[in-house]
Chain A
């Protein structure tokens, strides 16, 4: 991508997308998971390919076929439903989470209704009375699609920087 590519995006669109991603982060951190589902397209694809340590000569350190999430709207909806049960122990008492989103770059997508958006994620999770928070960082690659005027997430790939996850479970969404 070049700066000129992103230059084809209107500044209003860029701001709208930034606002959309911040709003999404707020929904997740405020535990408004049902509303978060409303930000997804019907055909959403949600993945988190596994990162590995490889020698430089061996190419990409992303193992695309292996993934911590292999989700669509059905499975994401059941994850959210689970968080709403009375016995999702990993989330009860709930962790306190913060999704920091930055480095947002926007490019035109496959057609005029879509945008390719990359962003950096700094996810911090604090549990119980433990002072030190769990942290996951990574890059997200989204396809956002305009559906009847509203932006929605049509696809998300999260590429974490950790090879060994330093948190006991991936309880929330990223």
Chain B
């Protein structure tokens, strides 16, 4: 892995500080290699949600970029994450997406591991192995760190990564609203959607993290249909909040010229007392007046909690989706999309919520479709000599100057972070790229 040359690193830093992002970082294979090591392996990486593996023996197969991982629940109910590979010759142990097992048996020579990863069984072990093997040295290989927050399972390949709590930092205050508002919290419904898009993973993080500005144009078809308001500023109302460690979000409030939306994103009234129990005054104030929350947990976990109807402004229904932009190379990613609902939400509401999710933000979603299409057009236009020129002699930088040094934070914002009083801003994206640069510039 070639290091980032110090003059390039300096140039990146200089440009980022004035809202310019060199276009070559979207398609450069060298940068991609650095990202795998220094962005993904060094930080916390999202693997799934606890509700996907409720019982002992339950497992899901996931990918930590290119490492196959078994995320499973042991008999002690604790969650483990193992490299999905036998310690004998490296065979993949679980090739299904999920299931329930009493132990993991390798199909090659039959080595058998407990749910906790202990090498328990070896075919004819007593006859063929003597003192040359101490079984305790051949356990399944655990990912060095695993921690959870409100059911979100994160792992890290970096033994020395800061605790998850500290890493999430002030994003937790907003995760409390999205994931911790109910007594029994949230659960994943169904299996995640997965699809492949020819786009750089950073574009997904950048778009969900802060790009409210794209909605009026990218999703103009929904404006033409009368599903979204005509006011070109409709996604600008509210606050863009820059958080710790490259995290950030938009808290979008209803357009003052559009019909009113009910409190708490229209979630059923029977749930409100629960929110009042679990959230602070400040969190309630924010949540009560919100239409849409979208954001990114650095590096590649995004979240979206909007309200959508079947047409017009009737029956706007909220849903929560988590997104992972799993990189498959500099110009390609696999999108994973989960749907979550409050455990206590009325079943009828959950069904309607799921339908709105599928209809707007699944691979067939009438909003989603256009995002992926346009992101792939960025890749198509960023592979040539001009876009990839590292001396930037063709002005091959992307423009992130919106609101740079001209929008002041709102001192009255009740939540943590630096909150600017508009969502048409690129402060979150600038902070994302600065954190990204800090990671890849590090030795």
B-contacting residues of A (Cβ < 8 Å)?
A: 48, 50, 52-55, 58, 63, 65-71, 74-75, 78-79, 81-82, 85-91, 163-171
Contact = CB atoms under 8 A, between A and B. Distances in A.
A85 B225 contact: yes
Interface in B309-339: 310-311, 334
B196 A169 contact: no
Given A63-B191, A82-B221, A89-B218, A54 B373 contact: no
Nearest to A170: B364
Interface residues of B, number: 42
Contacts of A71: 359
Contacts of B366: 78-79, 82
A70 B363 CA distance: 12
A165 to B, nearest CB: 4
Contacts of B334: 164
Interface stretch (B94-102, B133-141, B169-177, B416-424): B94-102
A168 B220 contact: no
Contact of A89 (B189, B197, B374): B374
Interface of B: 95-100, 189-191, 193-198, 217-218, 220-225, 227, 310-311, 334, 354-355, 358-359, 362-364, 366, 368-370, 372-374, 376
A165 B222 contact: no
B373 A90 contact: yes
Given A50-B191, A58-B99, A81-B225, A169 B364 contact: yes
A5 to B, nearest CB: 33
A53 B198 contact: no
B351 to A, nearest CB: 9
Nearest to A128: B380
Nearest to A58: B99
A149 B97 CA distance: 46
A59 to B, nearest CB: 10
Contacts of B221: 82, 85-89
A54 B98 contact: yes
For the complex of A and B, list the 6 residue pairs with the smallest distance between their C-beta atoms, beginning with the closest: A66-B190, A170-B364, A87-B220, A165-B195, A169-B369, A90-B369
A50 B359 contact: no
A87 B190 CA distance: 32
